[in-house]
Each structure stands twice: as structure tokens, then as C-alpha cells.
Structure 1
Amino acid sequence: MCDAYVGAATGAFKCVSFKDGKITNANTIADLIPKETEITAMCFGDIEQSEVIACQANHQIKLYNSITNLYSDLFTVEGCEGKIIGLSMLSADKIITAAKTGQLQIWTPEGKLLSSDDWNAGNDILAFDKKPSSSTIIATAGKENLLKIWDIEITGTSHIRIYDPRTQRKPVHEYKFMDTPITALSLCNRENHIIASNTTGDMGLFDLRGGVQLLLKFRGFAGAVRSIAAHPTEPFVISVGIDRHIRLHNMDTKKLVKKTPTRFF
């Protein structure tokens, strides 16, 4: 068993044993073409860390199995420009890739694209990571590209959907909120109610009983709302938007209680 794995600029996939002081190559060096086979991103492929997923400069996704010592092809990332700088397993059947050009894509291990074609985090992405304790939260950042936290469970559309896990996968209720993608959701102090926001700065309180009904809209926003956190027992909700202001609203009165620039923190 190796202690560490290294992906080289030449494309060599190296297994490191600190105990024995040995470094071995899992692939054939003579077959490598650095401009194409450079390893640009790696991640473990399972919880046991017996598998490693690697991505090459030519967008070929490779799989290394430490039990069989085999280094094999999985699939090729299509519809993507630039080097893939980030790679992570979301679950046993989902792999996410992040390109330097900002393109984010979710794939099956067989190479089927599961995400939309227009998902982009902005140009010059230099860093990508997944929250270790979550299969849905990822982060991206880059050159003149602010840190962004993404929840991949959000639809990317303007629809709020209610599902019954005991039945089929189709939503039992659906509501269209404006015409722009929903960016954040939060439970609140009212049972069977949620707060949702979108990319144009609309934030509303919704009643989920018997369907989805918009009860009220909060005002005072300038641009997309990125995150919402409502108090579980009190009628207050905090939100943060791209204008870098933290806002505190009272859900009972709809009033903006406080607005604070984040530069003060």
C-alpha cells in the first residue's frame, strides 16, 4: 500500500512508500506526451482511498486502483476549454470537474454529463475544493475571481420544488419564482415555510402547505443574494449578496432592520 500519490507534469502517476523509501510509476513513461498527459488534478475515488482519480491536460480522466495496481481510462471530458484544475468525487456515481476557464461539470463514471452546459464560475479559476463533510458544497476562486461557495443541489432555475422521498422522483409541487435562477434557500421559525432568493436580488417567504405560495417579498437588495440564514425560533433572517452587504430583515414586519458592509469585519 502506498503512503502518497503524485501526479507529475510529464503525466507520470507515482506511488510513494515512505516506509520503504521507494517511488514507483503506475503507468508507462515511454507512452507519455507531457503536453497531453500532464496530470492537472487528482482526488480519491472512494471512502477507503483505494482508488485515485486523475485528470490529464488532454481532459482524459484516469483511474488508479491500488489493489490491482491498474491505471486505466475512465472517460474524456467534453465541451470544456482550458486545463482542468479541480476534480472531486461527489458520490459513488458523480464526478465534478472544474476548468481554469470556469466551467464546472458533473459526470457519471461512464462519462455522461449530468449538469447544464452554462454552469460557469468565471475565468482564471486557480483553486477548487469540495467540503469534506458534504457531497453538495464546493468552492471556487481565482485571479480577480472572488471566492464562491456553491450548493449543487440548487436547481439553477427559477423553480421551487417539493419532493416526497416515499414516492417517485418527480416533484409533488412546483412554483416559479420570477424568471431568474434561485441562489439560496433557508428554513425559518415558521413550520412548513422557507425563504428563497435569486440572482436579481428578490427574496421571498414561501408557505409550503398544500403547495408553494409566495407570502411576501423582502426589499433593500442590490444584485444577487448569495446566502440566507434564518433564525430557527425568532422572526429574523440574515442575507449576503454580491454587493458585499449583510442584511437583517424582520419576517413579521418585512422591514430591513440592519444593513452592514462586510468590509467592517
Structure 2
Amino acid sequence: MAAPTFNVFVGSETGLLKGINTVKEYWTNLNTVATPEKSNEIRSLTWVGEHESEICVGLRNKRIATVKLIDNSFSEFTQFEQGNGDLRTAFYDRSATVLALESGVVNVWKDGELIQDINTGSNLTCMVREPAQPDTFSTGGREADLKLWDLNKPEQPVFLAKNVKNDWLNLRVPIWITGIGFLGDRKIVTCTGYHQVRVYDPQSQRRPVLDMSWEEYPITAMSLYRDNQVVVGNTHGSMALLDIRTGKLVHNFKGFAGSIRSIQCHGSQPVVASCGLDRFFRVHDINSRELIHKKYLKSRLNCMLMTGMRWQDLDSESAVEQISTEQNIGTVEQTPEGKATEDNEDEIWNQMEIVKTKTIKRKDVIADKDSVKGKKLKMKKK
């Protein structure tokens, strides 16, 4: 069996799933979109099972599909109508499908029927499943503090976090969780829209054991690196490596030009990948901060998923074959009306006529000024 061609998958706001080969440094769209709409935005990319052979793709309009990495083929999308609000996260749990909606409702479907309806609180922004225990997941959102749930006992949360103490003005600190990660020792790391990074220990206390701030902009993406460091990114286009043992900044990464939406560290290599609204996919070396890869993917990027394989294990033969056979790399079908979509807007710019400008020398400008002054003097004399 041939090895997979791509090792990174990125979802865009227009509904395109992009496969990236970081070794051969090329990418392609794995699907086509006839009419790009906000409802088709890819918001969730999660693995199906433990073998990283299939990906669960969740769209904003609560449609779910799977992608087989052997041939990069999509299954038919399944529409889930139950529940209010757009989709935030979706994943497969054995034979069940779990959907988290913005309204705070987590629905569990099996064989086309709704078997569980869990209310986690309103304004849900993220839901993450614990890798060590697939039946356990955590939720958080705007004014919805961190909660730990068990699918076998959905009546009450297993753990409910408590807000930090009031600030120095004795005012309540607002809550806005934007990212969640699980550490190896059962601790939980969160990032917030109020530029905070917090570490919780559910076995000891409800309040965070570490509460630190980073810059002054909302943190929109986070990924754990080892068990004591975390990479975070914000809406201002900044990304940094933080030490969650000491609560201090390790170093910053450079080269960004827009809001960062997704960050993921490799499981065995010291690299971190990121993407965002500036439409670039980047890979940095975590230790040296060097920018290793940078690709323009033409769409506003929303989420990302990286395989755990070593990049040297990518099948070079299948990659070369893929490059030679693909004729529409990086393009999208046009709409029925013939209007260009967001992904082929570069072609429009390339077809535009170049307007040439003439460089004016400084001595010519001085001569023009002198001639104007001479004309004014003549008019005054008259």
C-alpha cells in the first residue's frame, strides 16, 4: 500500500480542503466548490480512529463527511438539522457522530437518530476530546467557563472550572475561552479572547494553577509542545512559544501578516505549522525560529490537521505521480454564472494591463517650477 501523498490538511472559509506535501513543497485542492458560500466554511478537521487513515470534515452548516487518505476521496455529506446555531466541532466516536454547536448544545447521533442532547452552556466556541479517554471531552466559550464531560454520564460535568479572583479594582474578570489542550498529566491548558493562558489541575482545585497574560490581543489558536510549553497565536498576527511551568515567554516567531486561526505542533519533530486569514501556510522550526516553509493557498484558512508521520516517510513516487497527473492544482471551478471565485482571483490580477509610470527627475521638477514662476512674473508686469 502506497504511503499518503499529503501530510498536512487545511480547511478554508470557502469550503475547500487543501492537501499539502511539505517535503515536495506542493499543494492541491482535494475538492471543488461551484458556489463558495459562508455556510460551506470548513470549521472542523478531526481524525477518525487512531490510524490517521480518515478525516472527519465538519462544515458550518452542520454537514459532515469523511475523507479517505489512501485516494483522497470524499464520502457523501450528511446533513444534521437538529439543534440551533452553526457547527463548531465534530468528530466520530466509534459508531456515533458528535456535533458541538455555537448554542452550547452537543448532539450525539447514531444510525441517523439523536441519542444524546447535552447542554453545555451558551456561546460555545470550542470543544476538544481528550486523547487518552475518547469518551471525555471539554467545552468552553464566551461567559462559559471550562467544563469536562463524560459521554457515559452526560447529566452533569465531571469538572467545572471556577473563575479567577476579581482584579485589582475588585471587578469580575470576564470569561472567553478560545482554545483547549490536554497535557499528559491530566492537566488542561486554555487560551482566552482576553490574551490569557491558564493551566487547570482538575484533581486539585477548580481555579487555574497558572494564569498568565501574553500581549494585548485575543488569542485565537494554540498547540501544545511537549508537556511544558505551548505555542499561541492571536488576531494581530503574532505567534510565540510560552513556558507554562514558569509563565514566561520563551521567544516569538516572525513572518505573519494577519490573524492566525490554527496552530499545530508536530508530534515527533521540532516544527510548528500555522495558517490564518492572510492565506499563507507556514512552518517554523520551534527551536531556531527559522521559517522553513511558506505557501500561498489563495483562500482564507480556518483550520488545520497534521499527520503524525515523519516527513521523510512521505511516498516520493506517489507524490511525483500526483504532480504530473493533476492539471488543476490550486484552482477551483467557476460559478455557473462564470464569475471568478476567491481562489482564482490571482488570474484576474495577472490579466490586468500594467500601467507604466514615468520617473521624473528632480532637475526637471525645478525647471518646471522656474517656468511657472516666470509666467507669473510676466502676468504681473502686464
For the aligned pair, the TM-score class normalised by the smaller chain equals 0.5 to 0.7
Find the counterpart in structure 2 of residue 143 from structure 1.
142
1:65 aligned residue (68, 71, 74): 68
Structure 1: distance between partners of 2:27 and 2:57: 18
Q: Does 1:85 align with 2:88?
A: yes
Find the counterpart in structure 2 of residue 34 from structure 1.
37
Q: Does 1:25 align with 2:24?
A: no
- Conserved in 1, the CA contact under 8 Å of 2:96 and 2:109? yes
Q: TM-score of the superposition, structure 1-length normalised?
A: 0.56
Find the counterpart in structure 2 of residue 126 from structure 1.
125
Note the aligned Cα RMSD (angstroms). 2.7
- Conserved in 2, the CA contact under 8 Å of 1:4 and 1:15? yes
- Conserved in 1, the CA contact under 8 Å of 2:55 and 2:66? yes
- Conserved in 2, the CA contact under 8 Å of 1:90 and 1:135? yes
| Structure 1 segments of 4+ aligned residues over 3 angstroms from their partners | 260-265
Find the counterpart in structure 2 of residue 6 from structure 1.
10
Identity of counterpart residues, as a percentage? 22
2:46 aligned residue (24, 43, 53): 43
- Conserved in 1, the CA contact under 8 Å of 2:148 and 2:157? no
**Corresponding residue SS for 1:127:** strand
Find the counterpart in structure 1 of residue 19 from structure 2.
15
1:97 aligned residue (96, 99, 102): 99
In the alignment of these two chains, the number of paired residues is: 163
Structure showing greater Rg = 2
Higher RCO (C-alpha under 8 Å, 6+ residues apart): 2
- Conserved in 2, the CA contact under 8 Å of 1:101 and 1:122? yes
Shift in CA distance, 55/111, structure 1 to aligned 2, threshold 3 Å: farther
More deviation, 40-49/138-147: 40-49
- Conserved in 1, the CA contact under 8 Å of 2:147 and 2:157? no
Find the counterpart in structure 2 of residue 113 from structure 1.
114
Q: How far has the Cα of 1:36 moved from its partner?
A: 2.1
Q: How far has the Cα of 1:46 moved from its partner?
A: 2.3
- Conserved in 2, the CA contact under 8 Å of 1:76 and 1:111? no
More strand by share: 1
Structure 2: distance between partners of 1:38 and 1:46: 24
Structure 2: distance between partners of 1:261 and 1:39: 34
- 2:123 maps to a residue whose letter is D
- Conserved in 2, the CA contact under 8 Å of 1:5 and 1:15? yes
**Can you list the C-alpha shifts for 1:222-264, whole angstroms capped at 9, x where unaligned?**
xxxxxxxxxxxxxxxxxxxxxxxx9xxxxxxxxxxxxx99589
Structure 2: distance between partners of 1:82 and 1:261: 29
Find the counterpart in structure 2 of residue 215 from structure 1.
none
Q: Which runs of 5+ in 1 are unaligned?
A: 157-181, 185-245, 247-259
Structure 2: distance between partners of 1:263 and 1:49: 33
Structure 1: distance between partners of 2:14 and 2:90: 19
Q: TM-score of the superposition, structure 2-length normalised?
A: 0.39
- Conserved in 2, the CA contact under 8 Å of 1:3 and 1:16? yes
- 2:17 maps to a residue whose letter is F
Structure 1: distance between partners of 2:145 and 2:59: 26
Structure 2: distance between partners of 1:131 and 1:69: 27
**Corresponding residue SS for 2:76:** strand
Q: How far has the Cα of 1:41 moved from its partner?
A: 1.3
**Can you list the C-alpha shifts for 1:27-69, whole angstroms capped at 9, x where unaligned?**
113x243222111112111211111111112211111111122
**Corresponding residue SS for 2:38:** helix
